[in-house]
Structure 1
Amino acid sequence: MDICKNKKNNSINQVRYGCALGAFHSVSAIPGAMPIAHCGPGCVDKQYMSLGFYNGFQGGGYSGGAVIPSTNLQENDVVFGGAKRLQELIEASLKILKADLFVVLNGCIGELVGDDVGAVVDQFQKQGIPIVNAETGGFKGNNFIGHEIVVKAIIEQFVDKYTTAHSQKQKGLINVWSELPFQNTFWRGDLAELKRILQGAGFRVNILFGNNSEGVEEWKNIPKAQFNLVISPWLGLSTAKYLEEKYDQPYLHIPVLPIGADQTAEFLRKVVNFADHNKQKAEEFIAAEEKEYYYYLEHFTDFYAEYWWGLPSSYAVIGDSAYNLAINKFLVKQLGLIPAKQIITDNPPERYRPAISAEYQKLDTDVSAEVVFLEDGYEINALLENVNYGHRPPIIFGTTWERDTTKKLGGSIVEVGFPASYEVVLNKKYVGYRGALSLLEKIFTTVISKSA
């Protein structure tokens, strides 16, 4: 995972993401889908242990982790090619493993030596086997880039077989493109909450990943959706634009994941207005959710107003752009905290960075924050140590890599991204109405526990 970025030594200290091959997590996040890796020995294990284990200890499940078939290419395969080895692996996998869709991910070795993985996979496709090929050599970028490669491969080679150029669109049906599975520590719970609130507002939802997805059958319905909904600063935008061209589907881009009542209500109204659908139902749902949300918040204010524990007033967020921006909006608008330095670590493509930076200039009325794009852990921690947080120790929303620096600053840390080695995550969520309550509990439990 030493993706070359640092100008001095061509490596990244304390890496914050995987390589493109790590997109096999995106495959295993689709119920009924099975990844097959064409790569060197240890590649799958390294991506799993980092993204799936030391990141909330999420586990591999039915088609992830130790289950994933791999060619484990050796020196002989580098010299003579590994296509035959891949063919044998696919044949064996089809006999042993049950899946609705197989996705072959080609790694660095296979791409560098020129293995024609597409031709190998094509043999099985002609037999009617649901299998696709994705060229995900690690040198192509990180797992965010790999994710978009995999998604496009599934649509082109599998989904497209179940549609026509003029498929009938179903009003109220949405395809959701948002967090990156496994990279985002809380993706399972977050996607479940996004689906819940959209359904509550009267929509039918192809959430596509996670336990709340109907799996491969849901992917077949992608062309039938009224529109695509992108909920992230940049991930999913290229997919939505591709689907707009391919299936004549419009898309709505909302760059900020909603956290808390205000942002979630604003989010739902944007979606409803775009779809021109179920406005009354959406307002009824918002009213019911806000009633419950503010019931809990009313009782929480007794604690918050007293500041018994010397709560921090300033903060920094270190993480991928989706969570970084969402948490900033919530902390400023809901809690009135003061933003210090904000560090984005997912290496967004340059073309998206101006729009992302612009979002930090309008966190709230007359509130903005300085944001930088950094990936190297040494540089990030050096920067954090030299920020002025005011007269109280800060709260740091970051990763395991920031724990030592946070101790030096006398602050509190809430792990919100990869790697998260001090979090065990089952279905915890931080978005929407229910996720915001969980985030509040986590923040202030962390602060008062440190004071004990």
Structure 2
Amino acid sequence: MKLAYWMYAGPAHIGTLRVASSFKNVHAIMHAPLGDDYFNVMRSMLERERNFTPVTASIVDRHVLARGSQEKVVDNITRKDAEEHPDLIVLTPTCTSSILQEDLQNFVERASLEAKADVLLADVNHYRVNELQAADRTLDQIVRYYIEKARKKGELPTAKTEKPSVNIIGVSTLGFHNQHDCTELKRLMADLGIEVNAVIPEGASVHELKNLPRAWFNLVPYRELGLLTANYLEQEFGIPYVNITPMGVVETARCLRKIQQIINAQGANVDYEEYINNQTLYVSQAAWFSRSIDCQNLTGKKAVVFGDNTHAAAITKILAREMGIHVVWAGTYCKYDADWFREQVSEYCDEVIITDDHGAIGDAIARVEPSAIFGTQMERHVGKRLDIPCGVIAAPIHIQNFPIGYKPFMGYEGTNQIADLVYNSFTLGMEDHLLEIFGGHDTKEVITKGISADTDLAWTREAQAELNKIPGFVRGKVKRNTEKFARDRNFTEITVEVMYAAKESVGA
């Protein structure tokens, strides 16, 4: 385990809570110390929820540490069952409750005797997995539970829907633009004449899970959440799944062609080529825009990409393949799925970085000095410090990345949103010079080569004034070259004389 004030993926219990609170009429009991219940505030704020988040903290306090939980957890489960009348109560362990080695499964079995709701203990190893892995595992566990329950009662449907239909798996609360993506995917399926059999977990009732086997295929748009469930449904019921993320013109078309192949293999006769052509030409402006004179200014510009697997891989392909932008490096914090990421992006970037160390990513950005960054909220902070623009493309995210307006990243409308994000993330044309002439909106100067705090050097007032005279579009490079010159010679302070010496050393 690792303590950090910045984390790309949260602890396991956050993933379990994301899935539990995404379902309709499901309540989660979190056995945790006071402070671990920040999920409630986070979800209410970011998702702008008007209703209370259905999560209750069963607090581990000094009395629990002294005497054990005794009846506390069981009482909390039965109390919430009586108050909320949920269909399902999920008991969520945390690292703290795991350390205490309390028998939570025993608490669940005892509470099940009294509660009218189903009661489940999240089957997640909180030492070994992070938020994303736990969410995937919890969704799989809940789906298996209700399908087995329906099977035992003889209520499991066996017939497929009359028309081609799909289960969209992996849309959840606190996901990056998940609600907008889901709306776009539903619209896409409707255009293709495909019925949406179910969307899970967001907004779904656990009683609907028994109907999942009726779909002709499953669509898993996000690699981080839903693959375990899709694999289970394929093994158990032979339902094929599509896990090509429809993000960007090329990948959206590839996803639709895969769906066409799967549907036709089950007896249908569909051809989506005309639809793909019409959408690419008239609905998606991205293909035209990438060839316009505006976008030609971006050709060959350097960018870096970092995020989760799904979004980082998709954006890397779009930048390199569809917009002609040079991706210096692409990276992901999903270390558990590193092989897939490397296979997806290796041919579209110069270097692949797999790490969950935000400091290392900050230094890697400073090292290559890209024209733009496409990353998480953390990389946006790095960009602010280095005076490099950043487009946010993946979680973790800020409240400003939960837009009220319609901003999907998937489907053909998503291609337009991404093209706008990419184009507007670069500083183009006269913008640098205008900022220099009229004064920029952010005058904070960065005087470090990297991001780490221990690389700061002192600049005299005169040297800082001299630095400010240098045009903005090269100031960062001059600054970093000067600091490198100073460090190589063990100078602790940068004066005007040091600046001139550094300039002469590079022949400028």
Task: Quote the Cα distance in structure 2 between the aligned partners of 1:341 and 1:192.
Answer: 32
Corresponding residue for residue 280 of structure 2: 290
Q: Which runs of 5+ in 2 are unaligned?
A: 436-508
Match of 2:353 among 334, 351, 372: 372
Per-residue CA deviations over 1:203-229 (Å, capped at 9, x if unaligned) read: 23322133xx44334323223333433
Q: Which runs of 5+ in 1 are unaligned?
A: 5-10
Task: Quote the Cα distance in structure 2 between the aligned partners of 1:429 and 1:109.
Answer: 37
Corresponding residue for residue 357 of structure 1: 342
CA offset at residue 19 of structure 1? 0.5
Identity value in percent: 19
CA offset at residue 305 of structure 1? 4.6
1:202 aligns with 2:193: yes
Equivalences for 1:45-444 in 2 at 5 Å? Answer: 45=38, 47-48=39-40, 53=45, 57-60=46-49, 62=51, 64=53, 67-126=54-113, 128-136=116-124, 138-163=126-151, 167-170=157-160, 172-178=164-170, 181-182=173-174, 184-205=175-196, 206-210=198-202, 213-233=203-223, 235-245=225-235, 247-254=236-243, 256-276=244-264, 278-280=268-270, 282-283=272-273, 285-294=275-284, 298=288, 302=292, 304-305=294-295, 307=297, 313-347=301-335, 349=336, 352-362=337-347, 367-387=348-368, 389=370, 394-407=371-384, 409-421=386-398, 422-426=400-404, 427-444=406-423
Per-residue CA deviations over 1:266-289 (Å, capped at 9, x if unaligned) read: 111102202326553644543453
| Amino acid of the structure 1 residue aligned with 2:213 | P
Task: Quote the Cα distance in structure 2 between the aligned partners of 1:257 and 1:411.
Answer: 28
Corresponding residue for residue 27 of structure 2: 34
Per-residue CA deviations over 1:37-95 (Å, capped at 9, x if unaligned) read: 122211121x4556775xxx32455352xx52111111221333225111111222123
Per-residue CA deviations over 1:410-437 (Å, capped at 9, x if unaligned) read: 4310112233234342353211111121
Structure 1 residues 306 and 379, CA gap change in structure 2 (3 angstroms): closer
Task: Quote the Cα distance in structure 1 between the aligned partners of 2:286 and 2:143.
Answer: 43
Per-residue CA deviations over 1:91-132 (Å, capped at 9, x if unaligned) read: 221232253333221222333333333333334545552332
Structure 1 residues 325 and 274, CA gap change in structure 2 (3 angstroms): same
CA offset at residue 382 of structure 1? 1.0
CA offset at residue 316 of structure 1? 0.9
* TM-score where L is the length of structure 2: 0.73
Per-residue CA deviations over 1:360-419 (Å, capped at 9, x if unaligned) read: 134xxxx44421211011111111111264xxxx21011232235324554310112233
Q: Is the 1:40–1:109 contact (alpha carbons within 8 Å) kept by the matching residues of 2?
A: yes
Give the match's secondary structure for 1:158: helix
- Which is further off, 370-379 or 72-81? 72-81
- Which is further off, 158-167 or 132-141? 158-167
Task: Quote the Cα distance in structure 1 between the aligned partners of 2:270 and 2:341.
Answer: 32
Q: Is the 2:219–2:241 contact (alpha carbons within 8 Å) kept by the matching residues of 1?
A: yes
Max radius of gyration: which structure?
2
Where relative contact order (Cα < 8 A, 6+ residues apart) is larger, the structure is 1
Per-residue CA deviations over 1:117-152 (Å, capped at 9, x if unaligned) read: 333333454555233221446423211121123113
Task: Quote the Cα distance in structure 2 between the aligned partners of 1:72 and 1:361.
Answer: 46
Q: Is the 1:21–1:137 contact (alpha carbons within 8 Å) kept by the matching residues of 2?
A: no
Give the match's secondary structure for 1:191: helix
Q: Is the 1:34–1:63 contact (alpha carbons within 8 Å) kept by the matching residues of 2?
A: no
| Amino acid of the structure 1 residue aligned with 2:366 | E
Per-residue CA deviations over 1:176-198 (Å, capped at 9, x if unaligned) read: 3346641x321221233223323
What is the root-mean-square deviation of aligned Cα atoms in Å?
3.1
| Amino acid of the structure 1 residue aligned with 2:396 | P
Give the match's secondary structure for 1:280: coil
Corresponding residue for residue 8 of structure 1: none
Task: Quote the Cα distance in structure 2 between the aligned partners of 1:291 and 1:400.
Answer: 33
Corresponding residue for residue 458 of structure 2: none
Q: Is the 1:107–1:136 contact (alpha carbons within 8 Å) kept by the matching residues of 2?
A: no
Structure 1 residues 395 and 98, CA gap change in structure 2 (3 angstroms): farther
Corresponding residue for residue 447 of structure 1: 426
| Amino acid of the structure 2 residue aligned with 1:327 | I
| Amino acid of the structure 2 residue aligned with 1:353 | A
Corresponding residue for residue 7 of structure 1: none
| Amino acid of the structure 2 residue aligned with 1:414 | G
Q: Is the 1:195–1:207 contact (alpha carbons within 8 Å) kept by the matching residues of 2?
A: no
CA offset at residue 448 of structure 1? 5.5
Task: Quote the Cα distance in structure 1 between the aligned partners of 2:332 and 2:319.
Answer: 16
Structure 1 residues 264 and 420, CA gap change in structure 2 (3 angstroms): same
* TM-score where L is the length of structure 1: 0.81
CA offset at residue 296 of structure 1? 7.4
CA offset at residue 159 of structure 1? 3.5
